[in-house]
Structure 1
C-alpha cells in the first residue's frame, strides 16, 4: 500500500493543479471581460481575479476556501506553470519591441522616458528610508537598504507598454501625438526598467560582496555582447532558412527552447530569468514581418493567453489585505502618491517644454503612470529574490492596480491630434504593426 500511496498522492496533486488552472482561466476570462466593459484593460480584471481568489477575499469566507482550492502542496506546481508562461511572455515582449516606435520621436521620447524614470526613481528612493525599518527583514534574512531602495525606485519607474497600447486603442488615441509619444517613451522606459531590475538582481545575489557584484557585472556584459554579436546573426539565419522551408513547428520549438535556455543562463549569472527571456526576444529578427507574426508570434501569444492567468492567481495568493495595519494603509497612500507624482511630473515637464498643451501633457503623464502586468512581473521577481515581504508586496500590487485603473477614466475626451506620417514606415510594405499587435486583450 505504501508503495502505491506516493504515486497516488502525486497524481492527486497534479489533478488539483489542473482543476485550479481550469478555475483560473474561467474566473480570469470573466473578470477580464467585465473590466473591458467598464473601459478598463483586461489585465485589471485578471489582477482583481487573483486578489479575489486569494486570502484577501475568498480566504475570509468560512471554510478556509483559498487553502482548500489552492492547497500549499499544489502551489509550487502552479508557480512553475506561471513561470513558464511568464518566460515565454517576456520573450514575446522583447520580440515586439519595435525601433520604429522610438525612431519617430527619438529625442523627445528619450527625454520623456528618462525624465519620468529619474523623477519616479528619485522619489521612490527618497521614500525608502521611511518604509525600510518596517520591511528590512524578509523570511528571517535582513536585506540591505541599498537593495530595498533601488528596487523601490525601480518599482516606481515602470510603465507597462502592452497595457498602455490597449488603453490607447480603446480611447482611439493610437494615432494622436500623445499616443505615439507615450508608446515610444514607454518602450524606452520598459527597456531601462529591465536593466534596473538586472542591477537589483545582481545587488541582491552578491549580498554586499563587491567581488561577487563585479563578477556578475562582467558576466552580464559578456552575455549581452555574445547575444548581440554571436547569437543574433545565428538566430536570424536559422529563422530565414526555416521560414523559407515553412518548417514552422520545429522553428517554434527551437525558439521557445532558446528563450528558456537564455532565462536559465541569466539566472546562473545572477540576474533574474525574465531578463534572459526578454533579451532573446529582443535579438529576434523582425522580417519577414507578416509571415513571422502569423506563424510564430501569434501562436506564442496564444500560449501566453492560457498560462499568464495562472501568474495572476499566483500573484493574488500573495496579496493579503487583512495583514495590513493602520500604519500600512498610510504607507500605501504614500506609495500611490509618490508613484503618481513621479510619473506625472516626470512626463509633464518635458512635454510642456516641447510645446504640448497642458491637457496633452497631463494625458501623457497619466499614460506613463500605467504599470499593469510589467509591474507585477517586477514585483514577483523581487519576491523570488527575497527583497519584499508579504505586506510590502501587497501594497505595491495595490499600487499597480490603482495606477493602471485610473488612466482610462481620467484621460481627456477630445478629438486626437494626428501624428506626422512616418515616411520610413510608409515606404515599407512589410512593416510590422506592433501597436495593433500589442492592443490585444492579453494585457
Structure 2
C-alpha cells in the first residue's frame, strides 16, 4: 500500500502528465484548425471535447478517467483559472478606444442592434427552455437569471477571435472589418455588464442581498478607477524607468487581488481581472511590450489549453437526448439569426452594400473563447445544467467554425479599394494584437 507522501507525489505527477497531454493535443489540433481556415482556438476547444467524456471517455478502459482522474481535476481547474484570469486581464488591457475613432456612430448602432436582437430572441428562447432546465445539481435556478444569462450568451461576439480572423483574412483594415471589430468591442463590454447583473442575481439570497451586491460592486468600480488607476500610473512610471522586470509581478498580483475583490463583493472573479486590465496603463508601450505583454501572451498560450480541457470535461454530448437535440437546433438557429438580423440592417443603414453587410453579420457571429468564458461562469454560478452547458458549447464551436468556410462567399469580389478601406487611424497601435 502506498504511503500518503507517495500517493500525493503520484497525484501531482499525474496532473503534470495531464498538462503535457493537453499542451501537445491542443498544439496538434490547433495546427489542424489553421489548415482548415479556422482560428487556433477552435482546434483547442475541439481538443478539450475530444479528451473529455464525449469522445475519449466513450472508449474502453476509461481513458479520460486515467488521464484526468478526479483527484487531479481540482489542480487542473486551478491552473485553468490562472490562465483564464490572465486572459481576461489582456482582454481589458487591450481594449482600444481608438477603434471607435471615425466610426463611433456606426459601431454603436451595429453593436447595440446586434446585441439587442440577439439578446431578445435568445431571452425568448430561454423562457421556453427554462421549465426543462430550471434545476441544477438539486438547486432551483432563478428564472430571471437563466433568461438574462442565455440572452447575454447569445449576444456575445468574441473580440479576440474576431481580431485573429480579420488579420488572417486580410480584412482588418477594410471598412467592414474595422466596423465589425469596433462593434464587437462595444458588444462585449455590454455583455459583461449583463453578466455582472446575472452574477449578482444568482449569488444574492434575496432582494436586500442583491442591492447590497450592486452597491458593493459600484464602490469596487469607483475604487478601481479613482484609486487603483492613478496608483498604477505612478508605479508604472517608476518601474518602467528603473526596474521594468518587476512590472510582471505587480500586474499578476494585481489581477489576482482584483479577482478576489470582485468575488468578495458578489461578482465572478473574471470581472476583477477584466476591470484591472481596463485600469492598467498602456504606456510606455515599448517597455510594456517587452516586459509585460510578451510574457503574458506566453503564459496564456501555455495555460489556456488547460482551460479548454476543463471545459471539455464538463461537455457530455453522449448524454443529450433527442429532445436536447431539438433544443440544440433551436439554439443554433436563434444564435445565428439574431446576430445576422441585428447586424445586417444597421450595416446597410451605415452605408455598406448588401454583400458587405452580410459579411458583417457573419463576422459578428464568431463567439469562440469569449463564449466559453461566459459559459464556464454560468456553470460555476449554477445557472446552467450539464445538457444546457453542452448545447451552448456546441453552439459556440459551430458559430465560430462557420465563419472561415463562409467567409469567401461574402467577401467583396475585388480587393478592397479606398472606398471600402477603414478610415486611417493615427492613434498609437494597441500593445500587441489579440490572439
Per the TM superposition, whether the score is higher than 0.5 is yes
Residue 276 (structure 2) aligned to one of 272, 275, 280: 280
1:389-416 per-residue CA deviation (whole Å, 9 max, x = no partner) reads 1100000000000000011211223323
Q: Which of 351, 356, 362 is 1:366 aligned to?
A: 362
- Matched with 2:61 is 63
- Given that residues 50 and 317 in structure 1 are in contact (C-alpha distance below 8 angstroms), is that contact kept between their aligned partners in structure 2? yes
1:92 to 68, 90, 93: 90
Partners of 1:360 and 1:152 in 2: CA distance: 28
Residue 376 of structure 2, aligned match among 372, 375, 380: 380
Partner of residue 302, structure 1: 298
Residue 302 of structure 1: SS of its match in structure 2? Answer: helix
Aligned-pair CA distance for 1:206: 0.8
Shift of 1:297: 1.0
- Contact in 1 for aligned 2:314/2:390 (Cα 8 Å): yes
- Deviation at residue 128 of structure 1 after TM alignment: 1.2
1:437 & 1:279 partners in 2: Cα distance?
Answer: 19
Distance 1:290 1:329 in 2: 50
Post-superposition offset of 1:117: 0.8
Report the Cα offset of residue 106 of structure 1: 1.1
1:214 aligns with 2:211: yes
What is the CA distance between 1:182 and its match in structure 2?
0.6
When the two structures are superposed, what TM-score results if normalisation uses the length of structure 2?
Answer: 0.96
The unaligned stretches of length 5 or more in structure 2 are: none
Distance (whole Å) between structure 2 residues aligned to residue 214 and residue 432 of structure 1 = 40
Distance 1:149 1:413 in 2: 35
- Equivalent-residue separation in structure 2 for 1:178 and 1:413 (angstroms): 10
Count of residue pairs brought into register by the alignment: 428
Q: Deviations over 1:328-382 (max 9, x none)?
A: 0010000011111111111111111111111111111111110000000000001
Q: Give 1:253's match in structure 2, choosing from 249, 253, 259.
A: 249
Aligned partners of 1:116 and 1:342 also within 8 Å = yes
Query: 1:73 offset after TM fit, Å?
Result: 1.1
Alignment of 1:419 with 2:412, yes or no, is no
SS of the equivalent of 1:104 reads coil
Asked if structure 2 preserves the Cα contact closer than 8 Å seen for 1:290 and 1:432, the reply is no
2:165 corresponds to which of 164, 167, 174: 167
Residue by residue, what CA displacement relative to the aligned partner does 1:117-145 show, whole Å, maximum 9, x if unpaired? 11111011100122111111100001111
Moved more, 21-30 or 413-422: 413-422
Structural RMSD (CA): 1.2
- Give the equivalent residue in structure 2 for 1:428: none
**Equivalent of 1:342 in 338, 343, 346:** 338
Pairing 1:65-84 to 2, within 5 Å after superposition: 65-84=63-82
Following TM superposition, by how much is the alpha carbon of 1:294 offset from its aligned partner in structure 2, in angstroms?
2.0
SS at match of 1:296: helix
Aligned partners of 2:204, 2:246: CA distance in 1, in Å?
A: 38
